[in-house]
A and B are shown apart, each in its own frame.
Chain A
């Protein structure tokens, strides 16, 4: 009974989070104010972190908040600040092909939605009635044993991106 109640509560929270995320994501791609778009993106990223918590992926949720909301959004705000003199609504944020883009997105959503509903129907995420917590210790064990080489490659990639960004953005 307690398990069933918990599942209902999870589903209710999932619905709220999903609704807020979708609305905020739509505002990101439709709003006329660039700064507002960045702030709506914060809502979407926080919602993604909340979904990670719902699947008991705690370390990834913390990383999502630290890296995305902490760093990436600040980068975006700096980008907006450095490339745009005026802060406020703009009229030329969308190109003239946006109706075709909307059509593409709707068709893509239809195809993907049909494929997912057809393929996974009513498969439960928690097959045995409960999800297993994936702790930070397990994540670190996996990264530093099985996935050590990809991890080192990502380190080199970050260094390369750091140097590359400085070189590209530097004044001559």
Chain B
């Protein structure tokens, strides 16, 4: 197996996630796209950890998973708060702080 196999799959997932974050207007869908980006990072961490033969890649991938779980919890709570106040999770309408 080449190192690049994993890195290219990670890059592809990252770009798909970036497209999702930019193109979606539903708050939950944007959070799902962020999960794609975080998973792309995890693939890179694991691949480089295996490449270098160190355990650090796995440890930091575990930290990323923990932080991603926290991020989803807080993110969905914010989306729920927006829904309660505005009855929609269309991010185009969340412009209260727009200058």
For residues 7 through 38 of chain B, which have their beta carbon under 8 Å from a beta carbon of chain A?
A: 7-9, 11-20, 22-29, 31-33, 35-36
> Which of A113, A132, A161 contacts B74, CB < 8 Å?
A161
> Which of B36, B55, B56 contacts A44, CB < 8 Å?
B36
| Inter-chain contact A108/B18, CB cutoff 8 Å | yes
Known A98-B23, A154-B67, A157-B66: A132·B53 in contact at CB below 8 Å: yes
A158–chain B nearest beta-carbon distance, Å = 5
B interface residues, Cβ below 8 angstroms from A:
1-9, 11-20, 22-29, 31-33, 35-36, 39, 42-43, 46-47, 49-51, 53, 55-59, 61-63, 65-74, 76-81, 83-84, 89-92
| Inter-chain contact B72/A75, CB cutoff 8 Å | yes
User: Could you name 27 residue pairs across A and B whose Cβ atoms are closer than 8 Å?
Assistant: A7-B1, A10-B1, A21-B9, A56-B50, A57-B50, A67-B65, A67-B69, A76-B72, A83-B28, A90-B26, A100-B22, A102-B19, A102-B23, A104-B22, A108-B14, A108-B15, A113-B8, A123-B4, A138-B55, A139-B55, A139-B59, A154-B66, A157-B67, A168-B80, A169-B76, A169-B81, A171-B84
Chain A residue numbers with a CB within 8 Å of B46 are 51-52, 55, 57, 60
Interface residues on A, range: 35 or more
Chain B residue numbers with a CB within 8 Å of A101 are 18-19, 22-23
A interface residues, Cβ below 8 angstroms from B:
7, 10-11, 14, 18, 21-22, 25-26, 28-29, 34, 37-38, 41, 44-45, 48, 51-52, 54-57, 59-60, 63-64, 67-68, 71-72, 75-76, 78-80, 82-84, 90, 92-95, 97-98, 100-102, 104-106, 108-109, 112-113, 116-117, 120-127, 131-132, 134, 138-139, 141-143, 147, 150-151, 154, 157-158, 160-162, 164-166, 168-169, 171
B97–chain A nearest beta-carbon distance, Å = 16
| Inter-chain contact B23/A48, CB cutoff 8 Å | no
